Amino acid sequence: MPAGTPKQMALVETQDLVKNYVLGGETVRAVDGVSLSIDRGEYVAIMGASGSGKSTFMNMIGCLDIPTSGEVRIDDIATGDRDGDALAELRNQKIGFVFQQFNLLARTTALDNVAVPLIYAGLGSEERRAKAKAKLGEMGLGDRLDHSPAKLSGGQQQRVAIARALVTDPVILLADEPTGALDSKTSEDIMQIFQTLNDQGITIIVVTHEAEIADQAKRRIEFRDGKVIEDVMIKKRRQTSA
């Protein structure tokens, strides 16, 4: 943990976070006592080899997975004592997810895909359409509202997914290998979008195994065998990405 971070500023905070899996009668400790804190406005890359526990860690701070022990606090809210529905509400309001495989609903227009989280936020259809349209506009897809995912390129699909992640104005954007299914040119576009979003003040946490992607972040946390082995601030070289 970087020294001198005031505790009350932490947006994401974990305390002795542990996750065990039972596989074939054997207990595997995927995340092994991780304590760290991420502040508002940070841009964090979480790195590590396959099986290092980085994805499991990510799923727990995204409230998708329940820790075996330890605690996750999001925006000063303890998640341990919340039930499934309360966690769903927390994800809806505070967290935006971007997945490697985009995870868009097939045979559903870009607009309707982006509007899905707003359904669960309880917004009426007019408001949903308006907000989704605005977000797609910001992602440069204002002319693709009625396209289904099958008619969009990979980069466009990921931008729809980002619009969907941001449509509820979350405080954190969690991206799990967001460029894993994209070519390098498109990857750069997506990373550029992340950079811009972070500049606007959105906290971004990216799980990746690609060094170039991680280099875009301000902070790099490396996992191995369920433990954090490195946690460093990166000096920004803005001119390379700008």
Partner 1 sequence: MIGNLGQKASGWIVNIAIAMTALRTNLMRSILTTLGVMIGVFAVTLAVAVGSGAQVSVMQSINALGSNMALVFPQPDTGEGGRRSFDRGRLTMRDARAIEKQISGIDDIAPQLRTNIQLIVAGRNASTNAVGTTPGYGKVSNLVAASGRFISEADVRSAARVVVLGPSVVTKLFGDYDPVGETVRINRAPFKVIGVLESKGSSFGNDNDDIAIMPITTTRQRFSGDTLAGPDDLQMLFVGFEDGVSLPTAKREITKLLRDRYRVRGKDINPFTIRTTEEFMKESAQVTGIFQIVLVAIASISLLVGGIGIMNIMLVSVTERTREIGLRMALGAKRSDIRNQFLVEAAVLCVIGGAMGLIFAIAGGTALTVYADFPVPIGVGVGIGAIIFSAFIGLLFGGYPAVRASRLSPIEALRSE
Name the residues that contact partner 1, by CB under 8 A.
59, 62, 64-65, 84-85, 88-89, 91-93, 97, 99, 103, 105, 107-108, 116-117, 119-125, 164, 168
Give least dist CB 74 to partner 1, A.
14
Distance from C-alpha of 17 to C-alpha of 35, rounded to nearest angstrom? 6
Q: How big is the chain by its Cα radius of gyration, in Å?
A: 18
Instruction: Tell me whether residue 27 or residue 184 sits nearer to partner 1 (CB atom).
Output: 27
Give least dist CB 145 to partner 1, A.
16
Q: How many residues does the chain have?
A: 242
Give least dist CB 61 to partner 1, A.
12
Give least dist CB 164 to partner 1, A.
7
Quickly tell me which residue has 């995870």 as its tokens: 103
Instruction: Tell me whether residue 12 or residue 214 sits nearer to partner 1 (CB atom).
Output: 12
In angstroms, what CA-CA distances link 114 with 3, 54, 108? 39, 27, 10
Q: Token pair for residue 11?
A: 């947006």
Decide: 75 and 38 in contact? Cβ < 8 Å: no
Distance from C-alpha of 136 to C-alpha of 157, rounded to nearest angstrom? 11
Instruction: Tell me whether residue 6 or residue 122 sits nearer to partner 1 (CB atom).
Output: 122
Decide: 115 and 167 in contact? Cβ < 8 Å: yes
Distance from C-alpha of 129 to C-alpha of 4, rounded to nearest angstrom? 44
Distance from C-alpha of 97 to C-alpha of 117, rounded to nearest angstrom? 11
Instruction: Tell me whether residue 31 or residue 214 sits nearer to partner 1 (CB atom).
Output: 31
Give least dist CB 15 to partner 1, A.
21
Q: Token pair for residue 224?
A: 């191995």
Distance from C-alpha of 40 to C-alpha of 25, rounded to nearest angstrom? 40
Instruction: Tell me whether residue 124 or residue 201 sits nearer to partner 1 (CB atom).
Output: 124
Give least dist CB 149 to partner 1, A.
12
Instruction: Tell me whether residue 125 or residue 192 sits nearer to partner 1 (CB atom).
Output: 125
